[in-house]
């Protein structure tokens, strides 16, 4: 009895969702997030349609003068090389850390002509971008820092991104992951940051390289990057790990 009530309520939500969707589709909004229809991901629908519909697709996040830089807490996992932090511990990362990340290389797989490992020297060969931006965490704090790194677009291009590419999943050494679509992957402020406030990226902030995706909330900016997979279909890379957090969370 109770179960049936739940099912019918869920149906009602679905029906409501799809008629709202139809209305929006007939209006000026043409795009739906790839998570459309998932109850857990309902938050995506509004933010995705509002941001993608109302803002120019190339709109830049606000950049600040250096004088606005603030102190910056580290949250989430803060050292995948520490065996005591069992859930996030990664032995390979511990070894890389012991050698000051000299042997670090980013694996790129999937829909690219040149899959393989890309070293820090490979990243530095491409032109770099520096930006002072605000990080906003879902827990309610925000902080401003200066980030320098390689635009993800340039790396994807140098890896020979294929025409069937649609999404990019990014995996950290601590088993954390996120995926973004190509609009965010090619956004000019989406960078693989190796420098924070002029210093090599500190361990707790994701050494040696982290993603900065300034068009979305803080949890999309994956720290401790290990692997990038370019996919031809939607992969909710964080699904197993974070469950209920929205796939799309534009700010």
- Residue 220 and residue 66: Cα distance in Å, rounded? 24
- List the alpha helices (DSSP H) in 78-135: 91-98, 120-125
- Residue 73 and residue 53: Cα distance in Å, rounded? 33
Distances (CA, A) of 109 to 93, 94, 231: 19, 23, 9
Tokens of 106: 């980013």
- Residue 20 and residue 82: Cα distance in Å, rounded? 48
**Binding characters for ligand MTE, 110-139, by CB under 6 A (x = yes):** ---------------------------x--
| Residue 205 binding: pick among Mo ion, ligand MTE, none (C-beta 5-8 Å cut-off by kind) | ligand MTE
DSSP string, 236-247: -TTHHHHTTS-S
Indicate whether 194 belongs to the interface with ligand MTE (CB under 6 A).
no
Map the footprint of Mo ion across residues 214-243, applying CB under 5 A.
218-219
CB-wise, 41 or 205, nearer to ligand MTE?
Answer: 205
CB-wise, 51 or 88, nearer to ligand MTE?
Answer: 88
Out of 38, 75, 128, 158, point to the residue binding ligand MTE (CB under 6 A).
Answer: 75
User: Given the rule CB under 5 A, which residues bind Mo ion?
Assistant: 137-138, 218-219
User: Given the rule CB under 6 A, which residues bind ligand MTE?
Assistant: 72-77, 137, 172, 174, 176, 204-205, 218-219, 221-224
């Amino acid at each position: 009895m109770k179960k049936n009530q739940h099912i019918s309520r869920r149906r009602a939500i679905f029906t409501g969702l799809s008629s709202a969707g139809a209305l929006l589709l007939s209006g000026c909004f043409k795009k739906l997030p790839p998570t459309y229809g998932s109850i857990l991901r309902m938050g995506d629908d509004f933010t995705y349609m509002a941001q993608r519909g109302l803002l120019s697709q190339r709109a830049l996040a606000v950049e600040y003068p250096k004088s606005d830089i603030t102190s910056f807490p580290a949250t989430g996992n803060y050292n995948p090389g520490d065996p005591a932090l069992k859930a996030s511990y990664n032995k390979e990362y511990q070894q890389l850390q012991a050698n000051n990340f000299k042997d670090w290389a980013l694996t790129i797989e999937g829909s690219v002509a040149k899959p393989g490992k890309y070293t820090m020297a490979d990243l530095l060969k491409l032109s770099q971008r520096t930006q002072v931006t605000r990080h906003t965490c879902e827990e309610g704090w925000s902080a401003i820092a200066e980030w320098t790194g390689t635009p993800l677009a340039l790396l994807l291009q140098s890896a020979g991104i294929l025409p069937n590419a649609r999404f990019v999943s990014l995996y950290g050494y601590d088993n954390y992951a996120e995926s973004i679509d190509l609009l965010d992957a090619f956004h000019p402020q989406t960078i693989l940051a190796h420098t924070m406030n002029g210093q090599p990226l500190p361990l707790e902030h994701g050494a040696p390289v982290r993603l900065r995706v300034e068009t979305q909330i803080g949890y999309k900016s994956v720290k401790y990057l290990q692997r990038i997979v370019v996919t031809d279909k939607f992969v909710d890379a964080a699904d197993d790990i974070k469950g209920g957090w929205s796939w799309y969370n534009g700010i």
